[in-house]
Amino acid sequence: MVVSTKRALEGAHASAHAMRQINPDVVAAYPITPQTAIVQTYSQYVADGEVDTEFIAVESEHAAMSACIGAAAAGGRVMTATAANGLALMWEELYIAASMRMPIVMSCVNRALSAPLNIHCDHSDSMGARDAGWIHIFSETGQEAYDNTIQAVRIAEHPDLLLPVMVMQDGFITGHAVELVEVADDASVQRFIGSYSPAHSLLDIDHPTTFGAWDLYDYYFEHKRQQTDALSKAMKVILEVGQEFGREFGRPYGAFEPYAMDDAEIAVIVLSSTAGTCRTVIRELRQKGLKVGLLKLRVFRPFPAAELAEALKGVKAVAVLDRSISFGSMQGSGPVFLELCAALYAAGSKTKAINYIYGLGGRDVLPVDVERVIHELKQVADSGEVTSLVSYLGLRE
Amino acid sequence: MPKPNASWKEANIAGLVLEPGSAAEYETGTWRVQRPVHDADKCTHCMICWVYCPDSSIIVKDGRWKEFDYFHCKGCGICASVCPVKVEAHQVTGKPGKVIQMTDEKK
Ligand code: SF4
Ligand code: SF4
């Protein structure tokens, strides 16, 4: 039986708490704002003997992910955490971890990438790594960061996948905000994640195995095909694990969370903490009779394209809020918007889609901003005309 | 060795190599554009070529030069370069030079 307690925790501490309960074999990490609270708290657990983890205090994030890959190849359950420029410094290893099929779980506390130097939230860090082959799961709250971290272990280690998983939460807004988080007892978390025994490991000296060997034009292509196949199987596993988590801990998870979508004629799609602001505004506008709904996207990689197109059936116009820019893309739109446009096109959908870039470098997004989005979205739905494909929220024009 | 020309469904995950020492089964001899040839009559069995060959492709038996391992020899020419013994007319090429000489690889 799961025994839960309510704790006042910062989002970053909720992630560290989940990591303590997971008790991985190896954590190799380097501190960077606003992820520092995770690494600092975890190293305290190690120093206090609360976990059995081998903690490797590395000299950079490049080394952190390298050590994680080595430890995972050696057969360990491995975790790390990073943000922003730290994630960027892992660039090379992100691809290697994914293509060597290392089920590493990493917290990413989303922060703007330099320059100019900024430590506050946007999604440009993890979005830059969106084609590296990782599974990307976004969290709205500290509770979700905790829940997603636990589920990520099961997802990553699933034998059909063996893929690394990034669990995101918004820097400062979620990472450093204290909220009530329901944490389970250690034994229940351990029971849920189970033990990990990889089919191949460097330390299995009875079955010597070479990892990451030279792979030329005669096999590389086949291995990439395997990799994309694993990601295409990931959604099924993510949904199964999300349902099982719900049965065990009372909070089920899907690829996205619909709110007021049943009879919605217009809809907003957003990631992470801004979903809370959107929900509040939508609740008020619903009372005024506006048929508006919300799809809070949780899983960005693999992208739930067909599922989102299905959820938007009957919706006349959708606004995607992006907290990063895909520079040089169609009208400089955001990555979620681009993916959604592709999904709608592939599904033959007639739903109009518009994009709002918001919150870069921690710029606050207020209810009045979301009201503007919904107001403009209503005009698109009524007229069937898109006058501005990409707009900016809260920007001084 | 993975099955030659395995499909993506058959290939080992992530290119894992599950047998130790399997590089021996990889035919690097196909990379060769020049082929070393040896003059058995003039060889002094000094083994300098054996020391320098980067691919262990000089086969020695009972302390004597025996043969090239053409399955692995990449034709780098180091053996021909380091061989200290000169010949007037090479047993295989008929040319003056050293005990080991490089010839065009006939495919
Ligand atoms: S050509 Fe190079 S690889 Fe071949 S036997 Fe001589 S030294 Fe070895
Ligand atoms: S270096 Fe020349 S002489 Fe010496 S063993 Fe090799 S082939 Fe014979």
User: Domain check: are A234 and A369 in the same one?
Assistant: no
Give residue A177's pLDDT.
97
Give the side-chain half-sphere CA count within 13 A for A43: 14
Question: Considering the domain boundaries, does residue A306 fall inside one?
Answer: yes
Instruction: Check: CB of residue A281 under 8 Å from CB of residue A393.
Output: no
How far is A158 from A163, CA to CA, in rounded Å? Answer: 8
How far is A141 from A114, CA to CA, in rounded Å? Answer: 25
Give residue B4's pLDDT.
76
Mutational test site, ligand 1, from B57, B60, B103, max ligand atoms within 8 Å of CB = B57
How far is A391 from A79, CA to CA, in rounded Å? Answer: 38
* Beta-ladder partners of A375: none
Question: Considering the domain boundaries, does residue B58 fall inside one?
Answer: yes
Instruction: Check: CB of residue A318 under 8 Å from CB of residue A355.
Output: no
B11 at interface of A, judged by CB pairs closer than 8 A:
yes
Which two structure tokens, joined as six digits, stand for A291? 């048929």
Full DSSP string of B50-104 = HHH-TT--EEEETTEEEEE-TTT-----HHHHH---EESS-TTT--SEESEEEEE
Question: Considering the domain boundaries, does residue A388 fall inside one?
Answer: yes
How far is A29 from A18, CA to CA, in rounded Å? Answer: 16
**A-proximal residues of B, 22-51, CB under 8 Å:** 22
- Sign of the CA dihedral with A337 first, then A375, A366, and A291 last: negative
Full DSSP string of A117-170 = ---S--SHHHHHTTTSS-EEEE-SSHHHHHHHHHHHHHHHH-TTT---EEEEEE
Q: How far is CA B23 from CA A379, B14, B55, in A?
A: 66, 17, 11
- Those residues whose C-beta lies under 8 Å from the C-beta of residue A277, and which sit 6 or more positions away, are A365, A366, A367, A370
User: Domain check: are A30 and A92 in the same one?
Assistant: yes
Atom of ligand 2 nearest to the CA of B85: 3
Give residue A66's pLDDT.
98
B2 at interface of A, judged by CB pairs closer than 8 A:
yes
Question: Considering the domain boundaries, does residue A320 fall inside one?
Answer: yes
Q: Where do we find the tokens 């809070």?
A: A296
Give residue B5's pLDDT.
87
Which two structure tokens, joined as six digits, stand for A378? 């209503």
Give residue B22's pLDDT.
87
Q: How far is CA A42 from CA A7, A17, A49, in A?
A: 17, 8, 11
Instruction: Identify the H or E element spanning A41.
Output: helix A36-47
How far is B107 from B104, CA to CA, in rounded Å? Answer: 9
User: Domain check: are A279 and A217 in the same one?
Assistant: no
Q: Where do we find the tokens 């995101």?
A: A168
User: Domain check: are A300 and A181 in the same one?
Assistant: no
Which two structure tokens, joined as six digits, stand for A351? 């739903």
Question: Considering the domain boundaries, does residue B32 fall inside one?
Answer: yes
For chain A, the 3-state helix, strand and coil shares in percent, each to the nearest 5, are 40, 20, 40
The CATH number given to whatever domain includes residue B87 is 3.30.70.20
Interface predicted TM-score of the whole assembly (ipTM), two decimals: 0.87
Q: From the candidates A162, A207, A214, A223, which should be mutated to test the interface with B, based on the most B CB atoms within 10 A?
A: A223
**B23 has pLDDT over 90:** no
Measured in whole angstroms, the distance separating CA B59 from the mean position of its chain's CA atoms is 9
In which domain, by residue range, is A29 found? 4-249
Instruction: Check: CB of residue B30 under 8 Å from CB of residue B72.
Output: no
- Those residues whose C-beta lies under 8 Å from the C-beta of residue A387, and which sit 6 or more positions away, are A380
Question: Considering the domain boundaries, does residue B38 fall inside one?
Answer: yes
User: Domain check: are A72 and A194 in the same one?
Assistant: yes
Question: Considering the domain boundaries, does residue B50 fall inside one?
Answer: yes
Give residue A109's pLDDT.
98
Residues of chain A short of pLDDT 50, as ranges, are none
Position A356, amino acid: Y
The CATH number given to whatever domain includes residue A365 is 3.40.50.920
Instruction: Check: CB of residue A237 under 8 Å from CB of residue A155.
Output: yes
Question: Considering the domain boundaries, does residue B6 fall inside one?
Answer: no
User: Domain check: are A268 and A377 in the same one?
Assistant: yes
- Burial A36-57, CB ≥16 within 10 A → b, else e: bbbbebbbebbeeeebebebbe
Structural domain count, chain B: 1
How far is A242 from A342, CA to CA, in rounded Å? Answer: 26
Question: DSSP state, B3?
Answer: P
User: Domain check: are A182 and A56 in the same one?
Assistant: yes
Question: Considering the domain boundaries, does residue A217 fall inside one?
Answer: yes
CB pairs under 8 A between A and B: 48
Of A249, A274, A291, which residue constitutes the final position of a domain? A249
B7 at interface of A, judged by CB pairs closer than 8 A:
yes
The CATH number given to whatever domain includes residue A60 is 3.40.50.970
Q: Model's pTM, two decimal places? A: 0.92
The ligand that comes nearest to the alpha carbon of residue B83 is 2
pLDDT band at B1 (very low <50, low <70, confident <90, very high): low
Pocket residues for ligand 2 (CB within 6 Å)?
B 38, 43-49, 65, 83, 85, 99-100
Pocket residues for ligand 1 (CB within 6 Å)?
B 36, 53, 55, 57-58, 68, 73-79
Question: Considering the domain boundaries, does residue B8 fall inside one?
Answer: no
Question: DSSP state, B13?
Answer: G
Cis peptide before A198 (omega within 30 of 0): no
CB contact under 8 A, B14 and A222: no
The ligand that comes nearest to the alpha carbon of residue B36 is 1
Of A207, A223, A249, which residue constitutes the final position of a domain? A249
How far is B38 from B60, CA to CA, in rounded Å? Answer: 13
How many angstroms does the Cα of residue B34 sit away from the middle of ligand 1? Answer: 10
For ligand 2, atom 6: residue with the closest CA: B49
The ligand that comes nearest to the alpha carbon of residue B100 is 2
Mutational test site, ligand 2, from B39, B41, B42, B47, max ligand atoms within 8 Å of CB = B47
User: Domain check: are A244 and A269 in the same one?
Assistant: no
User: Domain check: are A208 and A306 in the same one?
Assistant: no
Of A189, A223, A249, which residue constitutes the final position of a domain? A249
State the Cα torsion A56-A59-A62-A67 to the nearest 10°.
-20
Question: Considering the domain boundaries, does residue B90 fall inside one?
Answer: yes
User: Domain check: are A144 and A51 in the same one?
Assistant: yes
In which domain, by residue range, is B51 found? 26-104
- The distance of B84 to chain A (nearest Cα, Å) reads 36
User: Domain check: are A243 and A261 in the same one?
Assistant: no
Structural domain count, chain A: 2
User: Domain check: are A194 and A114 in the same one?
Assistant: yes
How far is A28 from A76, CA to CA, in rounded Å? Answer: 12
Q: Where do we find the tokens 């300098």?
A: B48
- Burial A58-76, CB ≥16 within 10 A → b, else e: beebbbbbbbbbbbbbbbb
How many angstroms does the Cα of residue A210 sit away from the middle of ligand 1? Answer: 26
Question: Considering the domain boundaries, does residue B11 fall inside one?
Answer: no
Give residue B2's pLDDT.
60
CB atoms closer than 10 angstroms to residue A165: 27
